Amino acid sequence: MKKFLRTDPLVDVIKEYYQKLLYSQIDRSDVLAIWADKSRNVFERVSASLRLIDFDSSNVKGYLDSYDLLYSLGFDGDSLDILHAYLNRNGFHPLVASRLFVRYVNSCQLGRAVRFFDSYSDLIIEDAKLNEKTRQTLISLFSEVGDFSRLALIGVSFEDTWKAERIRIVNELNLLSLDEQLDFIFKRIDEGRYEEADWAIWSAYSMGSRQHGFYERLTCVLPYETASSRRVAAFSHEAYNLFPTDSGFIDLAIQASLHRGELYEAQIIVLKSLALGCKSREIALHALRMQALSGSSISFGLHGDLDQEVEKVLSINSIRRWGAWDQRVNGLYDELGLPAGGMGSDKIIKKSFNFYVPSPTPSVAICISGQIRGNLDDLSSNIKTFKKNVDADVYLDTWDQASLTSVRFSTVERLLGRDLTNVLPFEARSRDGFRRILPNTLEALISPVGYSVDEESLKKCFDFASIRLESAGAFEDLCSSKFPGLRLHGTFNQAKMFYKIWSSFEQVKELEKRSGRPYDVVVRMRPDNLIELEGLSSIIESCAKGVDIAYVNYLVNLGIGDRFAIGSRSAMEIYSSIWPLISSKNSFIYNKIIDRRANLGAEILMGNHLAAFGVDVAIVKPKKDLFINKSPINVIDIKDAIEKDSRLDTGFLIKDFEKFYIDRSSLKNFVFS
């Protein structure tokens, strides 16, 4: 059996199933039947796919099945390790080459994907002839980066995928120097001609304009993009690949990897950077955060043995290999110019990967906190979907006002759905562009549509162990008077979230005190998030075994997902403890160990908080992970608002958008997706 890179308790679950198969002496056909039986525990199916490799190490099926299952569960490093094991034993196979190519594209390592294609084009094209997903990935990549010659290799002409204006811009750029190309690009950005600017950027990239100055200016987020945009991530990876000692590019490449769930890739970048002597506060903080992400056996020296290269970078050579935990942490803090003792030795959990034997059936508390979005039947359905076949007490901590829609304007696609976003003019796809071109439409879509909630209706919704219902307006008034520093982007929404996470755990502690029996495992969920985890019983057992571990469903560039978590009681108590810290300091940056960028979002603060307090975090991808609240576009009629926007000076830009909306919304029971 392979040696796993991940070290969290879920690996032991797979190993236990594997050992049972190994010693049962069942033949290959029986193992194949276990793998194919989707009603079985998903971790048992993983073990069956690994066992298939034992029967025939030259047969690609076992490797591909293992890769697909492990990747779907969030084992990013181990899934790649499986493919590399096949390559080392058998060389390249079309299906293995295609898996790797698609993985590079999906993780926004576009330059790497192109170079990989060039090395194994025959194999990938062979698979593309049979696999439409591979073919569409090829077309999408080469159309995006403006690669005529490689499009031709798969039988596609650029005239089939490009507008005439783009072809004209490419021809014009061919005559310009690098500096002139950059001037061309930023002139169009300044003029709001974002689609032309985007075409020009990719064309300049494809022409080989890859000097340091090019990436220095174009790894930034442009007005029509967000920090998670594909182009920003792709250029961050390419900049790091070409300039691996530039601390700014290192930081961006790590962020891009984490945001796509490629933890192992991010860890490799950190290790390489430390080995090359790269030294910055951001890289050191990434190393500290990596310690919390226990998804790999790679050690950065902050617990366990000290890595020699990390020792050099963090300037703690005087500390012996078996020095005390707080000595090591203090050494890191001294290097970063942080306060002595960091969080304080009395507050930091001393990490030792301790395990204990839980009760035969771990007791589980589910804490649902935050505003209810959608109707109460949806909330009830969410709870039942998550906890089916699992005995758990459910606690609800919410506000007295529910919403039928999400009124937060985070992205245009979140507001409109993919259908309508795709017919918007390019200039209106950014938040600022949408505000400028469709101000009336935006105002209509973010108008709250909701209803009041009372305790009696909640009791009818589900048999909760405890309910706490509070006035959202009163809490916001309290924040305005006592915690004005917790206002973010004009609202107290983030403060409200952290308060409710803390408050719901306080409910758990109250019941524990009355019963005299603590829970083994605690789950944090949002009311509007439908989560379905395969192998939930195994995940619960793993949480009960790992004292200081929590599982979350996704990563972001500088933090972890804040929508869902499941972990040991001790880990989840720390997870839930942010509110007292930020309210006492009237700031999201409650201690200097917290990354300065933590005030940019709750996910960044949560990741830094768990790292500072010694909680290990691992990723487990849900089978289902959906928001159940309706998109505003399917609740609110925006026809009149669009008509008003069409009379503005920029109205000519939205004629196709207006027609598409009117045509589709007039259809019976049509839903924008």
Q: Which helix (H) or strand (E) holds 328?
A: helix 325-336
pLDDT score of 302 more than 50: no
Specify which residues 451 forms β-bridges with: 402
The pair of structure tokens assigned to 623 is 């089978």
Question: Average pLDDT in the 180-208 region?
Answer: 90
**Separation in Å, CA 310 to CA 48, 192, 314, 325, 566:** 38, 45, 6, 15, 31
Residue 469 C-alpha from the chain's centroid = 30
pLDDT value at residue 407: 60
Question: Average pLDDT in the 194-209 region?
Answer: 87
Greatest Cα-to-Cα distance within the chain, rounded to the nearest angstrom: 78
pLDDT value at residue 308: 42
Q: Which helix (H) or strand (E) holds 11?
A: helix 9-24
pLDDT value at residue 542: 92
Q: Give pLDDT tens digits for 451-492.
A: 999 999 999 999 999 999 999 999 999 999 999 999 988 889
Question: Average pLDDT in the 166-181 region?
Answer: 89
Question: Average pLDDT in the 9-36 region?
Answer: 93
Amino acid at position 634, single letter: N
Based on the domain organization, do 66 and 19 belong to the same domain? yes
Based on the domain organization, do 500 and 586 belong to the same domain? yes
Based on the domain organization, do 471 and 380 belong to the same domain? yes
pLDDT score of 582 more than 50: yes
Domain of 283 in residue numbering reads as: 234-336
Based on the domain organization, do 617 and 491 belong to the same domain? yes
Instruction: Assess if residue 512 is contained within a domain.
Output: yes
DSSP letters along 157-216, please?
-HHHHS-HHHHHHHHHHTTS-HHHHHHHHHHHHHTT-HHHHHHHHHHHHHTT---HHHHH
pLDDT score of 294 more than 60: no
Which of the two residues, 12 and 344, has the higher pLDDT score? Answer: 12
Instruction: Assess if residue 221 is contained within a domain.
Output: no
**Separation in Å, CA 62 to CA 45, 95, 191, 303:** 11, 12, 54, 35
Question: Average pLDDT in the 324-329 region?
Answer: 37
Q: Give pLDDT tens digits for 531-571.
A: 999 999 999 999 998 778 899 999 888 888 899 999 999 99
Based on the domain organization, do 320 and 384 belong to the same domain? no
Beta-sheet pairing, 401-403 with 450-452: antiparallel
Q: What is the CATH number of the domain that holds 123?
A: 1.25.40
Specify which residues 626 forms β-bridges with: 530
pLDDT value at residue 450: 85
Q: Give pLDDT tens digits for 210-256.
A: 789 999 999 999 988 877 889 999 999 999 999 999 999 999 999 99
pLDDT value at residue 305: 34
Based on the domain organization, do 548 and 507 belong to the same domain? yes
At 497 the three-state DSSP class reads helix
Beta-carbon contacts of 320 under 8 Å, excluding residues fewer than 6 positions away, are: none
Q: Give pLDDT tens digits for 633-651.
A: 888 899 999 999 999 999 9
Q: Give pLDDT tens digits for 360-396.
A: 789 999 999 999 988 899 899 999 999 988 899 999 9
Based on the domain organization, do 165 and 288 belong to the same domain? no
Three state DSSP letters for 246-267? CHHHHHHHHHHHHHCCCHHHHH
The pair of structure tokens assigned to 38 is 């989707």
- Predicted confidence band at 585 (pLDDT cuts at 50, 70, 90)? very high
pLDDT score of 339 more than 60: no
Among candidates 371, 262, 382, which has minimal Cα distance to 625? 382
Q: Of 64-68, 138-142, 608-612, which gets the smallest average pLDDT?
A: 608-612
- Predicted confidence band at 160 (pLDDT cuts at 50, 70, 90)? low
Question: Average pLDDT in the 100-120 region?
Answer: 95
- Decide if 82 contacts 46 (C-beta within 8 A): no
Based on the domain organization, do 18 and 160 belong to the same domain? yes
pLDDT value at residue 312: 42
* Domain termination site, one of 289, 321, 336: 336
Total-model pTM: 0.84
Question: Chain-wide mean pLDDT for the chain?
Answer: 85
Based on the domain organization, do 59 and 154 belong to the same domain? yes
Q: Could you give the residue ranges of the DSSP H alpha helices within 260-324? A: 263-275, 281-292, 308-314
Q: Which helix (H) or strand (E) holds 451?
A: strand 450-452
| Percentage of the chain modeled with pLDDT above 70 | 87
Based on the domain organization, do 22 and 140 belong to the same domain? yes
Instruction: Assess if residue 416 is contained within a domain.
Output: no
- Predicted confidence band at 299 (pLDDT cuts at 50, 70, 90)? very low
* Domain termination site, one of 137, 157, 176: 176
d(CA 555, CA 111): 23
Based on the domain organization, do 23 and 171 belong to the same domain? yes
pLDDT score of 66 more than 80: yes
Please measure the distance between the N-terminal and C-terminal CA atoms of the chain and give it in whole angstroms: 43
* Domain termination site, one of 176, 194, 226: 176
Based on the domain organization, do 372 and 242 belong to the same domain? no
Q: Give pLDDT tens digits for 264-281.
A: 899 889 888 877 878 777
The pair of structure tokens assigned to 228 is 């998670």
pLDDT value at residue 345: 31
pLDDT value at residue 166: 84
Q: Which helix (H) or strand (E) holds 367?
A: strand 364-369
Q: Give the number of domains in the chain.
A: 3
Q: Give pLDDT tens digits for 608-619.
A: 888 878 788 889
pLDDT score of 344 more than 60: no
Beta-carbon contacts of 75 under 8 Å, excluding residues fewer than 6 positions away, are: 4, 6, 295
Beta-carbon contacts of 239 under 8 Å, excluding residues fewer than 6 positions away, are: 215, 216, 219, 246, 249, 252, 253
Instruction: Assess if residue 226 is contained within a domain.
Output: no
Residue 259 C-alpha from the chain's centroid = 5
